[in-house]
Amino acid sequence: RDNKINSGIAVLELHAYSPYLNKNIRAQSKIALADALITTGDVYTSELLLAQVEKEFQDDPLGQEAKFKRAELSFYRGDYEWANMQLDVLKGATTQLISNDAMELSLCITDNLGIDSNYAALEMYSKARLFFRQQWYDSSLFYARQLNIDFPGHSLGDEVLMLRAQIEEKTENYSEAATLYPTLAEPSPNDILADNALFRIGEIYHYKLKQLEKASETYKRIMVEYPGSLYTTESR
């Protein structure tokens, strides 16, 4: 794993700092390099690269993507107020995917702040998300389970369940993931995570478990129940 990551970083560094490449390609390489460096734990350099792209492409989708990823880094560090200020700006992003992601993360912050700005549960969830990004799935799962133990019935329950399902999917436990995602879609169908969970179920049935009839039924549910979803067109 480490050898693959290091090889990828070496290639991305060549592209990110090459004076001969188109500036858009350099910016895309910087964003990809920032993602790779997060995996290795070099968050400082990652943020510097993202800040460079954000500054150079202020009103461009590339700049908005970099801005969102910087907000994510602040979320991982527990700097929720600064992250939320950036996310509020990005809710009006020209790219629907960035706008949607910004809205989801912003709601995660604002809906889960404790009394007197007690961030303990949210900080635990942030650590779990960071470990997930770094592909340390055992550590991510540890914090997710610990959150459920320390804060039973907390409003982060849906987010933790989504994270657990994503971990199962990433570790190729597709049958287990397919049993966790539906829980997010059924009890509170108006929840912001519901259409996301349904789409993940459809993708697992479609590409991993090869159960095409179930995949088709799931995609159809998204079209009917969530016509305004980001996933409606792809489901169709």
Span 33-39, mean pLDDT? 94
pLDDT given for residue 197 in this prediction: 93
In this predicted structure, the answer to whether residue 62 has a pLDDT above a threshold of 60 is yes
Higher pLDDT, 10 or 67: 67
Mean pLDDT, the chain, integer: 91
CA distance 67 to 222: 29
Q: How many CA atoms lie within 13 A of 93 on its CB side?
A: 25
pLDDT score, position 15: 83
* Model pTM score: 0.89
Q: What is the CA radius of gyration of the chain?
A: 19
Question: pLDDT, tens digit, for every residue of 86-101?
Answer: 999 999 888 888 999 9
pLDDT of 217 > 70? The answer is yes
Residue 20 CB: number of other CB atoms within 10 A? Answer: 7
Q: Tell me how far apart the alpha carbons of residues 149 and 79 are, in angstroms, rounded to a whole number.
A: 24
140: Cβ–Cβ under 8 A, 6 or more apart, which residues? 128, 129, 131, 132, 163, 167
Q: Where are the beta strands (DSSP E) in the chain?
A: none
